[in-house]
Amino acid sequence: MAEYDFPQDLRDAQLRLHQVTAAYHQLCRTLPWSVERAPGWAAGEKQPYTDCKSAEPDGPGYTDHEKSEVARLRAAVLELSVTVSTHPYWATLKPGTVVDGRMALKHTAPVAIGDVAAEP
């Protein structure tokens, strides 16, 4: 893969996108299975092609705080995605190299879940 001289503001935006995306996924893992209050169900017959019997307790739904956090993080992911994908740097690359450049940028600063900052 070719070497790219990404501008610092583009690198920073990509890093922040990694962080906010990780924070969003981390939050989603802690949320109830249903956004709104919903009745659960008991285990029924085995699912086709698996040995899984599905069951869920009643879903309490998201709190107002959880709903606002999901909305805030999703909006931040969208905004940062637009910032990265529309950066003027991409217009400076030769035709046919933009996709490789974008893939290289994604791997410049991967973020572990434990490294996530709470604020976008």
pTM above 0.75, yes or no: yes
**Residues 79-95: what's their mean pLDDT?**
97
Q: Check residue 111 and give its pLDDT.
A: 54
Q: Check residue 110 and give its pLDDT.
A: 59
CA distance 84 to 12: 9
Using CA atoms, how far residue 5 sits from 62, 81, 82, in Å, is 43, 20, 20
Q: Check residue 21 and give its pLDDT.
A: 96
DSSP designation for 111:
-
- Alpha helices, DSSP H, located in the chain: 8-30, 64-85, 98-106
The model's pLDDT over 31-64, given as tens digits with 9 standing for 90+, comes to 998 999 988 878 776 777 787 777 888 889 999 9
